[in-house]
Every structure is written in C-alpha cells, then in structure tokens.
Amino acid sequence: MDTHLIEFAGLLVRWLHVIAGIAWIGSSFYFIWLDNSLEPPPPGSDAAKKGVFGELWAVHGGGFYNPQKYAVAPATLPERLHWFKWEAYTTWLSGTALLVLVYWLRAQALMIDPNVMPLAPWQAVAIGAASMVGSWAIYDLLCKSPLGKRDGLLGLVIFVLLSLLAWGLSRTLGGRAAFIHVGAAIGSIMAGNVYYVIIPGQKRMVAAMRAGQTPDPMDGKRGKQRSVHNNYFTLPVLFIMVSNHYAYTYAHPHNWAVLVLIAAAGVSIRHFFNRKHKGVHAWQYPALGAVLLGITAWWTAPRIQPLPPVQGEVTFNRVRAIVGQRCVQCHSPQPTFPGITAPQAGVLLHTPDGIVQSAQRMYQQVVVTRIMPLGNVTNITDEERAVIAAWVKSGAQMTP
C-alpha cells in the first residue's frame, strides 16, 4: 500500500505540473504574441491621449476584445488588477516535487551511471541541486551586468553556458537524469525571473502609482526582457519534459550535443513565430530548425554496437534466465531493486508472456540504445545482449 501511495502521489504531482505548465506557457505565448501584434493608436485619438503605446482588436469565443498597452502606466489605476504569477510558481514547485519523488529519492537507480561517474546518491543529488541554484545565480548576474544591455549577445552567451551545463551534467549523471536536470535548471531560471524580477518590478510600479509618483520605466523594461527570455526557453524545456520517452536521445554517446541541437531548433522555431507576429516572415528560422532536427534524426539513428558471436543454442529458457538475472529486479509487480517502487514504464518481465510481449522493446533498449539496465547496475554482459538480439531476430518465440 505504501508503494501504491507513493506512485499515486507522483501521478497527482505530475498531473498538477502539466496543468500549471500549460497555463504558464499559454500565458507566455499569448502575451508575447500580444506585444508583437500591437499597433500604435492614431495620433490625436482618445487612446493616444491616454498614453496608450499600442492596441489591437481581436475576436474569440463569439466576442470582440480591445487590449491596450500603456507606454509606462495609465493615469489612474483600476480598482482590480489581474496578476500572472501563480502559474509560474505552481509549475516550478510541482516540478521540483516531481524531481525529488522520481529522481532524488531514487538516485541510485535513476541518477547514477557507474560507466559515467561512480557517485554516492547524496553526491548525485547535490550535483543536481547545485545545477539549479547555480544556473539561476549566474544567469541573473549576467542579466544585471553590462552584457544585459545587449540582448542578442546576452542570449548567445546564455545558450553557450546552458550547453556547457548539459555537457557537464552528461559527464557526471546518467543521461536521463542529466537531461531532466538541464530542464530543471532552465525552469528555475524561468521561475526566478517571475519571482525575483517581473513581479517585484510590477509591485513597485503599482506602489509608485498609488503613492502619486511616476513609475520607474526600467522596471517595465527589465520585466519585458526576462519575459522574452522565458518565452524562448519554453520549447527546449518542453522537449526535455518528454525526452525520457526517447532513449536514443539521452542514451546517445554525445547526448549533451543532441540536446543542444534540439534546443537550438526549438529556439529558432520560436524566434520565427515571434518575428511572424511582428509581421516579418523570416522563413530562414524554421528552415534552420528543420535542418538541425534533420541532423539530429540522422545522428541518433540506431547503430548497433558490434556484439560477440553467440556460443551455443539460443532458446527461450536461456533468454528467460538472462532476463530473470538482469531485468526482473525492476520489471516485476513488486520490484526488489532499491528505490524502485513500481515496474519501470509499466513493463513486466516476470512471466514468459511478458517477455515475449516486450521482445521488441527489450531489443531496442537492451541491444540498440543499451540504456537498459539503467547504468548497467545488474552488470549485463555483451554476450547476454547478443543472446537477446539473436532470439528477437529469430522471431522471439516461447520455444524452450
């Protein structure tokens, strides 16, 4: 029952994380689109006299909308203001809780790969936590430095530093954990932008107006810069969220470079949409994204490492013995491997039927990508991988 409750808690936290993430990313996409689509009001119009910087007309859900943005602030504040912050906070808090439940509490199984670096669980967790805190600290200092006034160069430097983070984590943690911690680091930057910069700046502007003072326009400029950064971070983070379903990305020998290529494609595609919303059809950006994704598809195509010749007859019983020794600890109704509370990905290999049904999946994960067993914690040999490969290629029959 305790195991079930832990798994169910993970389900609820993951669900909350997805819901909050949709709300946060949706508002980010909408407001960047809104900013890029605004048109200045006609000179002498009521809107221009009120200090409106830009406006637009839209139709949705059977109604007409007329959003307006002020250059700094309206002459008087309305009684009610709508704030956009809890989407960001909830996404980060639920994501961090999920990180703890899924990875940090199971560090031995899901974060450590002895072939990459032999670590104690506490060391792996410390590296993950430090990557989140350190990424925010360095990013924030860069934005506040003179470099922060040069948006293009700042963006390039941030991308390079995050690429170095991906390389560093791939040299210390297992591939799957390295990917998810790059995502956690970016998510921490995004949430930090909201909590430490955007919302405090907005609160200062509101307080100044209520005190009869003119708000500092720099608060608005800083908030806009961080908001734009968050917008460009979204597609790489979304890829990382689903990457654990695609072992050929995080199990690649140069997994950090695979992540960098896909992230660069996401940034390029996002830039196209941001430019398009301004009325500039810069098709070179989605073309670049397509090229990068094409390179990634070619580079990650299965290339089976040479296996030794199989000695003796390949039978189902022989395969079942290998699976029982190397795989069942994690892939049974009651896993016995420390930290694993439920069969990974729902795959059950404790019965003959389960092995046959999962034959192709075993071949992909054990022979092609070699991501399983995770970190090769059960010490499967190349000879045993070769037996599984030969059995699957011969038809994966249950013949003894």
pLDDT digits (tens, 9 = 90+) for 180-215: 999 999 999 999 999 999 999 999 988 888 888 888
One domain for residues 96 and 225: yes
Instruction: Render pLDDT for 275-322 as a digit per residue (tens, 0 to 9).
Output: 888 888 889 999 999 999 999 999 988 777 788 888 888 888 888 899
CA distances from 3 to 6, 49, 56, 377 (A): 5, 64, 53, 22
- How does residue 3 score in pLDDT terms, banded at 50, 70 and 90? low
Mean pLDDT, the chain, rounded, equals 89
One domain for residues 112 and 203: yes
Answer yes or no: is 186 within a domain: yes
What average pLDDT does range 246-259 have in this prediction? 90
Beta-bridged to residue 70, according to DSSP, are: 52
Q: What is the pTM of this model?
A: 0.84
Most confidently modeled range among 39-53, 255-269, 332-346, 374-388: 255-269
Answer yes or no: is 57 within a domain: no
One domain for residues 221 and 341: no
One domain for residues 7 and 137: yes
**In whole angstroms, what is the distance from residue 259 CA to residue 263 CA?**
6
Q: Is 55 helix (H, G, I), strand (E, B) or coil?
A: strand
Residue 215 near residue 72 (C-beta atoms within 8 A): yes
One domain for residues 123 and 9: yes
Q: CA angle at residue 139 from 157 to 291, to 5 degrees?
A: 40
Dihedral angle of Cα 378, 383, 387, 390, to the nearest 10 degrees: 130
Answer yes or no: is 180 within a domain: yes
Residue 375 near residue 110 (C-beta atoms within 8 A): no
Q: Count how many residues are written for the chain.
A: 400
- Domain of 141, in residue numbers: 2-34+87-242
Is it the case that residue 122 has pLDDT exceeding 90?
Answer: yes
What average pLDDT does range 67-71 have in this prediction? 85
The pLDDT value given to residue 294: 95
Q: What is the residue whose two structure tokens read 């798994």?
A: 7
Among 226, 242, 258, the domain-final residue is 242
**In whole angstroms, what is the distance from residue 193 CA to residue 28 CA?**
13
Answer yes or no: is 59 within a domain: no
What average pLDDT does range 101-110 have in this prediction? 88
Q: Which has more confidence, 302 or 353?
A: 353
What average pLDDT does range 60-69 have in this prediction? 88
Among 217, 242, 267, the domain-final residue is 242
- How does residue 336 score in pLDDT terms, banded at 50, 70 and 90? confident
Answer yes or no: is 297 within a domain: no
The pLDDT value given to residue 400: 67
- Phi then psi for residue 53, to 5 deg, are -80, -40
One domain for residues 114 and 235: yes
Residue 386 near residue 310 (C-beta atoms within 8 A): yes
One domain for residues 218 and 326: no
Is it the case that residue 162 has pLDDT exceeding 90?
Answer: yes
The pLDDT value given to residue 264: 97
Most confidently modeled range among 27-31, 79-83, 245-249: 27-31
Answer yes or no: is 251 within a domain: no
Percent of the chain with pLDDT over 90: 44
Among 189, 215, 242, the domain-final residue is 242
